[in-house]
Amino acid sequence: MNISRRTALLGGASLLASPMIARAQTNKVEVVGIYSLSGTFANVGDLLNKGTVMAFDHYKTAAGKQINYTLLDDQGDAGRAVRRVQEAMGQGVRHVVGCTNSAIALAVAKEVHARGGIYIHMAGADEATGSQCNKSSFRWPGASYTAIRATLEPFMQANPAAKRWYTITGQYVFGESLLTNAKAVMQEKGLTNLGNSYHALSEREYSGYITAAMATNPDVLAVLNFGNQTVDVVRQAVSFGLKRNVKIVVPWCTGLDQYQAWGSDIVEGVYFGTNYWHGVESPGNRVLSEVVRAKTNNATNYLQACGWAVAQMFVESANKAGSLDVPDLTRAMEGLTYEGPTGTETVRAADHQVIKNYYLMRGKARSAMRDADDFAEILQATKAFMSPEQAGCKMA
Amino acid sequence: MNTFSAYRPFPDATTGALAIVLVALPFVLPSVTLASELVVFAVGALSCTFLLGLVGLLSFGQGLFFGIGAYGAALILLHSNSGSLVAVLAAAAMAAIAAAIVGFLSVRRRGIYFVMLTLAFAQMGYFAMLALKNVTGGENGLTGVPRPPIVADLGVLAHPQAVYAFLAAICFLAFVLTQRVASSPLGSVLRAIRENDIRADALGYDVRLFKIAALAFGGFLAGLAGAMHTIFLGLAPPNTIEPEMSERLVIMAIIGGTGSPMGALIGAGFYVLLADFLSTLWPRWLMIIAFLMIAIVLFLPNGLWGSAELLIGRWKSHRARAVSPEPVDG
């Protein structure tokens, strides 16, 4: 690490300047992004933030006012995130975007709501637009219900002979939520759930779970977890030779970055569910892909798309409202339809969930790849969302 | 003023210094919420400073009691109409009871075995929080915790300044209480146990009982800090009960120095402010904290406060020598 005197002075200056976030000129709008730029989730937060920065650089203005974006580093800590948001809103900021995990998003959502702001995020927890929904918060991606319905149902339709299922699940709220939804779908379709293995959040070695799955001789192995654990389970399952006789389904996958981590030998023939794919042909995705390609010379990944999407939603709603006042923005956001990263997207007024496509994909053989990023083909795009009543959203 | 190392009368100069620092903090820091975070962690670190400095017990379980305080206060505030003060005190009492139970099970072991037991309890508490997700909210924590007036309708906590004043008052009382305990006969016995527990036992003191009492008091302080954290943020996030919280509190205590309660305030201030500053410079700022920790343990074994005291002491004796002339023989 090399911290020059200039860097240190800049850091100090930014610290001293932080109370002045909102002392803006009237021709500017202050927007803060809350991401983990340090701590455990720094690698995720960095990419999400880059997506948001690229979007605001691209749009430049919202409702005719220049966007002034400030990043707040929550250090992967929900408490620190809330403190940072309290500080920013105490200085007059009313527009907040982003999050790195659900715990942070739910905490920030309450804070922003209590202080009369608007918050657009990408939390994975069903509660965000369910039991903990509120008037100020909007969520872009589909959550666990969407992932399971949009992945397993079309998969089951295309593979009617695959009747015996085994699941490996992360023992945390998100994994449990995926499992509950998966069991419901299996029950509805009359399929057999042979068993489930739970693994802990700290687990890195899964051979025991994989051999347990193999012992039951399943037709399908569903991997119900997220992040690096998904990468490790699938990698180890393939290295155990599971792919020869068993179909592997991963309903929650981040797409390109995970495919790159696996490589095409592992990805080939495996089924994935993902919120975003850079190859989708749509006007919104074309703009996003061009901007990301120009800035990074790479294809867009899910995290960049998420960061972009929340910023785009803010700009689109402000332009529709012609105002930056929170009540006007909220009204404009409810029912807003725009060309987003996955095609035409709509913000559902009843629970503030964006209704968008979720993709079932299948990994391609190396020989079928048209370019270095063409790891998988889209088999189906589905808008599968729980109704607000099912989700238990009572808008506060 | 090294309260824990040797007996000192109560109150002493540090009591006044603490009051001045607490009043000045919101004016000298960039924001009042940063000052609030600092005083919360000062009380949390104080629990480690008290145990390590006065009794010689290194506990990696203080994060568990911090978490019990945080979740306890959140549950009380969410499900009852009690005021903030009642919630804070009740949550701290819950943490003290939990610490007494942990102490009862772990004080029979000494040294590394005691440390490992406290760490195991901290791990267990974290997984219990995940398992009891209907009560604790699991990985999402408990959000939307109200911040009622301090007592009945008195002391509305609507503004960050009011919240800080409330938290700073609790912090001051916690420090004063700790100083009072350290300067009491109980403190003398705990100091004797730290120096030689076999000899203390031979003198007729029930060492086990005194250690359990000390752990309960340490748990009370950690629980108090957890409850203050909930009042401050209006939520109880899962990281309040993660084992990493225990590490953080121990690190703050060691950085500040465990010879005096003031070390906790200095250590917490150093950690919180440095984290705030360093995170703007480098995503892997925790490495710098680790480096500083190593440097302090190697070169400043008394911590920042202890080393400052040492320097002041040397300067005073140097000045005294310079002022009073050497006696002339014959």
Q: Does A79 touch chain B (CB under 8 A)?
A: yes
Residues of A in contact with B275 (CB under 8 A): 75
DSSP state of B142: B
Would an 8 Å CB–CB cutoff place A90 in contact with chain B?
yes
Q: Is A129 on the interface with B (CB under 8 A)?
A: no
Peptide bond into B11 cis (omega under 30): yes
pLDDT digits (tens, 9 = 90+) for A69-87: 999 988 888 888 999 999 9
Q: Work out the minimum CA distance from A169 to partner chain B, whole angstroms.
A: 15
pLDDT of residue B3: 57
Topology of the domain comprising A145-274+357-391: Rossmann fold (3.40.50)
What is the reported pLDDT for B153?
Answer: 84
Query: For B76-92, what is each residue's pLDDT tens digit?
Result: 999 998 999 999 999 99
Q: How many angstroms away from the CA of B142 is the closest CA of chain A?
A: 8
Calpha distance A358→A349 (Å, rounded): 20
Question: What's the whole-number mean pLDDT along residues A110-134?
Answer: 92
Give percent above pLDDT 70 in chain A. 93
Distances (CA, A) of A132 to A125, A129, B289: 10, 6, 36
The answer to whether A3-142+280-355 and A145-274+357-391 have equal CATH topology is: yes
Distance (Å) of CA A248 to CA A151, A224, A279, A365: 12, 11, 23, 15
Q: Is the pLDDT of residue A133 over 60?
A: yes
Percent of chain B topping pLDDT 90: 64
Measuring CA to CA, how many Å separate A213 from each of A166, A175, B14?
6, 17, 63
Q: Are B176 and B11 in contact (CB under 8 A)?
A: yes
User: A with B: how many residue pairs have Cβ under 8 Å apart?
Assistant: 108
Contact A87 B240 (CB under 8 A): no
Angle between helix B243-256 and B32-49 (nearest 10)? 90
Q: For chain A, what are the domain ranges?
A: 3-142+280-355, 145-274+357-391
Closest by CA position to A150, among listed A342, A325, A349, A358: A358
Contact of A376 with A361, CB cutoff 8 Å: yes
Q: What whole-number percentage of chain B has pLDDT above 70?
A: 95
Least confident of A119-123, B45-49, B270-274: B270-274
**pLDDT tens string B145-176:** 999 999 988 888 888 899 999 999 999 999 99
Q: H or E stretch including A195?
A: strand A192-199
> How confident is the model at residue A14, as a pLDDT?
47
Q: Measured between CB atoms, which of A7, A37, A110 is closest to B144?
A: A110
Tell me the pLDDT of chain A averaged across its residues.
90
CB-CB contact of A139 with A352 (8 Å): yes
Q: What is the mean pLDDT of residues A166-188?
A: 91
User: Residue A257 pLDDT > 50, yes or no?
Assistant: yes
Residue A276 half-sphere exposure toward CB, CA atoms < 13 A: 27
Please count the other Cβ atoms lying within 10 Å of the Cβ belonging to residue A28. 14
Average pLDDT over every residue of A84-109:
91
3-class state of residue A378 by DSSP: strand
Q: Report whether pLDDT(A1) > 60.
A: no
Distance CA A243, CA A383 (A): 29
**pLDDT score at B330:** 41
Q: Mind listing the pLDDT tens digit for each residue in B235-294?
A: 999 989 999 899 999 999 999 998 888 999 999 999 999 888 887 777 677 788 888 888
Interface membership of B234 toward A (CB under 8 Å): yes
Architecture of domain A3-142+280-355: 3-Layer(aba) Sandwich (3.40)
Among the ranges given (A33-42, A43-52, B174-183), the one the predictor scored with the smallest mean pLDDT: A33-42
- For A40-71, letters b (16+ CB in 10 Å) and e give bbbebbbbbbbbbbbbbebbeebbebebbbeb
CB-CB neighbors (< 8 A) of A18 in chain B: 30-31
- Interchain CB contact of B248 with A (< 8 Å): no
**Residues A259-304: pLDDT tens digits?**
999 999 999 999 999 999 999 999 999 999 999 999 999 999 999 9
Is B287 in Cβ contact with A38 (below 8 Å)?
Answer: no
pLDDT beyond 60 at B96: yes
Which DSSP category does A128 fall into?
G
Q: Return the amino acid letter for A352.
A: H
Query: How long is chain B?
Result: 330
Average pLDDT, chain B: 90
Rounded Cα distance, B13 and B308, in Å: 15
Three-state SS annotation for A64-77: CEEEEEEEEECCCC
